[in-house]
Amino acid sequence: MKTDRFISVTILIILQGLLFSCNGDNKANQQVKETEVLPADIVELRADQIKLANIETGTIELRSLSGNLKVNGSVGVPPQNLATVCMPFGGFVRSANLMPGNAVTKGQTLAILENQEFVDIQQNYLEARSKFEFAEVEYKRHTELYKEDVYSQKNLQQVTADYKSLKAQVSGLEQKLALIGINPANLSEDDISRSVAVVSPITGYVKAVNINIGKYVSPTDVLFEIVNSDKLYLELTLFEKDANKMFAGQKIRFFINNETEQHEAVIYQTGKSVSADKTYKVYATVTGTCKNVLPGMYVNAIIESSALQVTALPSEAIVSFDDKDYIFVFEKNKEENGKQFTEYRMVEIHKGVTDAGFTEIVLPDGFDLKATKVVIRGAYNLLSAKKNAGEMSC
């Protein structure tokens, strides 16, 4: 009998231990469930916090926005307005009087060069021309004799070969004379000169002078650089996201050297590719006369963009965090411990032009414009809740 009572008490103690153990496990599990870890891009607020933060949601609109785009670039000149002057056969500089900045006209003498080779070319040309004149007469005479069967075909072929050889020689020497600026038609035995003039190929101003009297220059040396600044263009650098806003005929206002004077240009060509750094080139012709605008100058430009239909939100709906731009979108409603909560998700976007309180936004791929609710008011309060990790969120 005592043994039975002892067994009953022992079973009761074991059951109570198991019951307490289960209750402890349930409490621990309940505590684990109450500790919720939210994703990094989620902000959670109670209904009363949403009201306090003035959170308001809406949809992304398609709006016509016009704005000015600020870009940087440089001034350039077309290839036909920039000349590099060299002397094909080189020589010693006998005369050079120009300085950088001097104005020059097309055909004006820039320097005088001397070279023994100039004398040889002229001499060879005059000798070859004399022989050619004789050979030409002989060729015509022998041709007539051959037609009358007075002259053999073999002799005619020899005369023809000599005639054509001298003709090619004269033609080649004429081209060499033209390279050094000597007109073969005006050259005679009494006009052989050891010096030739280096002339300007365009009208403009002297950008660089690389010679001095007595210096020997080789055919590859650059003697002068001539620039004509009557026609200038701008090369502007834009980001890839702005490429679709540019078109030919668009007006540009630009400034140089932090001056207040405004200059104007018109886009004549947009780039056809995007470079490795995701930038895009636009080219514009400078209009009007700009005396203080010179090639190579750095410019700050403002491109007047026209109104386009773009995805846009109120500017206050966009927040910046860690040098990136975000919007908040409604994720879901939920209930925990009898309380209502709402989750909002941060979505990274890219900003465009701003006009009349609205800002253009570039959304990530796959974003559902119609179904997604976006926070259009109180976005900065949500960002504060995200940064402070609990001051507004739970």
What would the pLDDT profile of 315-344 be if each residue is shown by its tens digit? 899 998 888 899 999 888 888 887 888 889
Are 45 and 345 in contact, with CB atoms under 8 Å apart?
Answer: no
CATH class of 83-227: mainly beta
Residues of the chain with pLDDT > 90, as a percent, come to 33
CB 206 within 8 A of CB 225: yes
pLDDT at 366 over 50: yes
Q: Which residues pair with 38 in a beta bridge?
A: none
pTM of the predicted model as reported, rounded to 2 decimal places: 0.56
User: Residue 107: is its pLDDT beyond 50?
Assistant: yes
**Residue spans in the chain of domains classed CATH 2.40.30.170:** 68-77+229-306
The interaxial angle of helices 153-179 and 116-147, nearest 10 deg, is 150
pLDDT level of residue 196 (50, 70, 90 thresholds): very high
On the question of pLDDT at 347 being above 60, the answer is yes
Q: Could you write out the DSSP letters of every residue in 275-311?
A: -TTSEEEEEEEEES--TT--TT-EEEEEEEPPPEEEE
Confidence band of 7 (pLDDT split at 50, 70, 90)? very low
Is residue 67 within 8 A of residue 94, CB to CB? The reply is no
In this structure, how many other beta carbons lie within 10 angstroms of the beta carbon of residue 77? 19
The average confidence (pLDDT) of the chain is 83
Q: Answer whether residue 164 shows pLDDT above 70.
A: yes
Question: pLDDT class for 9, splitting at 50, 70, 90?
Answer: very low
CA angle 222, 218, 126 (to 5 degrees): 115
Q: Which fold has domain 68-77+229-306?
A: Elongation Factor Tu (Ef-tu); domain 3 (2.40.30)
Share of residues in the chain with pLDDT > 70 (%):
87
Q: Which two tokens stand for residue 39?
A: 């994703």
Residue 252's φ and ψ, nearest 5 degrees, are: -130, 140
Of 86-90, 191-195, 259-263, the least confident: 259-263
- Would you state the structure tokens that stand for residue 118, as one six-digit string? 């100039």
- Contact assessment for residue 367 and residue 375, using Cβ atoms and an 8 Å cutoff: no
CATH architecture for the domain at 37-65+310-388: Beta Barrel (2.40)
State residue 13's pLDDT score: 47
Bigger pLDDT: 54 or 10? 54
Q: Residue 21: is its pLDDT beyond 70?
A: no
pLDDT at 306: 62
Give the side-chain half-sphere CA count within 13 A for 124.
17
Give ranges for CATH 2.40.420.20 in the chain: 37-65+310-388
Contact 316, 377 (CB under 8 A): yes
pLDDT, tens digit, 9 for 90 and up, residues 268-317 = 988 888 888 888 899 999 987 777 788 888 999 888 766 667 888 898 99
